[in-house]
Amino acid sequence: MPKPSPKFAGNKELASLGAAIRAARGEVGLSQEALAAEAELGRGYVGGIERGEHNLTLMNLSRIAKALGKRPSVLLAAASL
Amino acid sequence: MPKPSPKFAGNKELASLGAAIRAARGEVGLSQEALAAEAELGRGYVGGIERGEHNLTLMNLSRIAKALGKRPSVLLAAASL
């Protein structure tokens, strides 16, 4: 599992995307574990994304969005990005 | 400069995002070189992104979007993502 990106620690954009992903996960009633399994990503990694610790790639964003039943652009817009 | 991601060669999502970035660059009349300089990324890397060869990170997407005067979510929506 990728280590948190210290370079991006406290990054506002990553933090707001993480919060938007957490909110969307709550809306569909998925646990972090279930979202990680659906997106085929590690649970710890998904937790780190929600905390804004990872500078995730487009394909991982796309996997998470699909698992949440949303478009990647909608997740970014929900994070004001 | 990151080598093209063979894993994602021919990936539709990356290809459509690359096309959307190229179109947005054309709209604002920037050369690839000028976009790369503005986004503080390598020119070759930006060329690879436009060809759909790189699974770019959120922060690089954000830099490119800013350099194009657009939101990252708008670029993704333009790519139907």
Tell me what ipTM this predicted complex has: 0.90
Name the minimum distance, in Å, from the CA of B29 to any CA of chain A.
23
Q: What is the pLDDT of residues B37-81, one digit of tens each?
A: 999 999 999 999 999 999 999 999 999 999 999 999 999 999 999
Query: Does A59 contact B58 at a Cβ distance shorter than 8 Å?
Result: no
Q: Which of A58, A63, A80 to mutate to test the interface with B (most CBs of B within 10 A)?
A: A58
Q: Topology of B6-78 in CATH?
A: 434 Repressor (Amino-terminal Domain) (1.10.260)
What does each C-alpha distance from B2 to A78, B41, B66 come to in angstroms?
A: 30, 11, 21
From the list A23, A35, A80, the residue with the least C-alpha distance to B71 is A80
Report the C-alpha gap between B32 and B29 in whole angstroms. Answer: 10
DSSP 8-state secondary structure symbol assigned to residue B57? B
* The architecture CATH gives domain A8-78: Orthogonal Bundle (1.10)
HSE, side-chain direction, 13 A CA sphere, residue A46: 23
Report the C-alpha gap between B32 and A31 in whole angstroms. Answer: 42
Taking only the tens of pLDDT, chain A with its 81 residues reads 566 666 777 899 999 999 999 999 999 999 999 999 999 999 999 999 999 999 999 999 999 999 999 999 999 999 999
Domain extents in chain A: 8-78
What does each C-alpha distance from B60 to A25, A42, A44 come to in angstroms?
A: 25, 23, 23
From the list B5, A28, B17, A50, the residue with the least C-alpha distance to A41 is A50
